[in-house]
Amino acid sequence: MSTISPAKIVSQNSYLAAGRLKITEHFFTVPKDHSAPSSSSPANTLTLFARSVTKAPSAITPSTPPPALPWLLYLQGGPGYPCRPPQHSPMTQILLDKGYQLLFLDQRGTGLSTPVTASTLQMRGEEDVQVKYLKLYRADSIVKDCEAIRLALTEGEKWSILGQSFGGFCSVTYLSFYPEGLREVFLFGGLMPLVRTPDEVYRRLYPRVKRRNKAYYAKFPEDVGRVKKILSYLGRFGDGVIKLPSGGDLTRRRFLQLGLAFGGHGGLDSVHDIVLKCATDIDMFGHLTRNALSAVDGAVNFDDALLYAILHEPIYCSGKGNKADWSAQRVRDEFSEFTLDEQTSIPTNDSATETPINFSGEMVYPWMFSDYTELRKVSRVAERVAQYDDWSELFDEEQLAKNEVPIYAAAYQEDMYVDYELSMQTAAKIKGCKVFSTNVLYHDAVRSRVEEVMKGVFGLRDDVVD
């Protein structure tokens, strides 16, 4: 049985949205630390925000209310990103048509759920206090919030959950420790690697990012010279001299973080557009215009994703004695083709036949806490979190092996963010896990190719596999 206490419902207000949708905005309070709930004072609680959505009632109201629909909770990818409003989500109508009422939760620290920013984090107190506070923002705490909300919202009924990427990681944690609250689980690019530290994740990530770089330069061979021209310009007066509209430093290494987009549908094209804009500015004017700088700034902006930057590696740390210790930086030393100085030592020319410079991918590096304006304010705290090694467990393989909750997952063979082989290893360890595997969809398919991927995953549940 769950040891979690129900969340306190603070307010619930509804409105109608286009598409015949009824949106309800929910505010809840939960303990800051579920493992040590003390008083209900503001210092010991967090406010959580979620939006639910149902089909709006028809103009002719029936004499008796319709039966309550089963709940489906959506867990957003991240860590550290809020949900879009339901009326702007491409999956909403599809899931409503399947007979659910949906709950889109801003996970703790995101959106309107007691958001964590540099200023709100510093309000918590000294660095020791901030570090202890941040360790409460991983999957283990998030699923306890979910259980608390379930108990308050559904009167104890089980609900379904749908996890995208990191939301899927949270779902595996949910299956491990609170399966009694779950009716069924759907995962999209979210079969959590069952690892203790991030090192193996990054050892597999760098080769995948290299493959996406090869695909990029194969599609846009002219960008080999363009990227080198841009990096030469950025380094001409010293890395970081050029400032972005947000106030951050446009260093060469920060520019190469544009490769984060390579893992999504249309990602190669979006990076090319920025490279073309920047190279054209340099050719025409000898400098980057405001429009080009804004394009770079908006494409990869970790200032608005503080939790992502600090916790992206610790979300893989499970159990005592395991720490992140800037895993991406350490593992990069095993892949010299991603070391900027070695790449840029090659003479620059415009020939598309010369060795291209590799963009990075979903990696968090310690230097980001110098190049990004907001991240600078929490650099010392980020360092202490990176060295923290007293983490709680994030999964229970024994429980997963005897799982009885139906689980259906999409695994993408060309996923740049969540390694396919590690995903399949996880699937094999979860009893009853059914997988829709594809090599034609990328990690963001639940947004970019929603009908196709939903059909594949729900087909696992609704159809018979002989």
Of the residues 89, 160, 165, 423, only one is catalytic, namely 165
Q: CA separation (Å) from 354 to 40, 129, 257? A: 63, 51, 21
Contact 87, 22 (CB under 8 A): no
> Which stretch of DSSP H or E encloses residue 400?
helix 397-401
To the query of whether residue 325 is one of the catalytic residues in this protein, the response is: no
- Nearest residue to 331 via CA among 236, 205, 167: 205
| Measured distance CA(12)–CA(47) in Å, rounded | 13
Of the residues 26, 34, 312, 443, only one is catalytic, namely 443
| Measured distance CA(161)–CA(181) in Å, rounded | 10
Amino acid 228 reads K
Determine the length of the chain.
466
- Nearest residue to 230 via CA among 282, 268, 299, 274: 282
Burial 159-190 (b: 16+ CB within 10 A, else e): bbbbbbbbbbbbbbbbbbbbbebbebbbbbbb
List the beta bridge partners of residue 25.
13, 51
With tokens 């080999």, the residue in question is: 224
| Measured distance CA(414)–CA(212) in Å, rounded | 9
With residues binned 3-state (H G I as helix, E B as strand, rest as coil), the percentages for the chain, rounded to 5, are 45, 15, 40
Q: DSSP letters of 266-300?
A: THHHHHHHHHHHHHHHHHHHSS--HHHHHHHHHHS
Of the residues 415, 419, 423, 444, only one is catalytic, namely 415
To the query of whether residue 165 is one of the catalytic residues in this protein, the response is: yes
Q: DSSP letters of 285-343?
A: HSS--HHHHHHHHHHS-GGG-HHHHHHTTGGG--SBT---SSHHHHHHTT-GGG-HHHH
To the query of whether residue 443 is one of the catalytic residues in this protein, the response is: yes
For the annotated catalytic residues, the residue numbers are 165, 415, 443
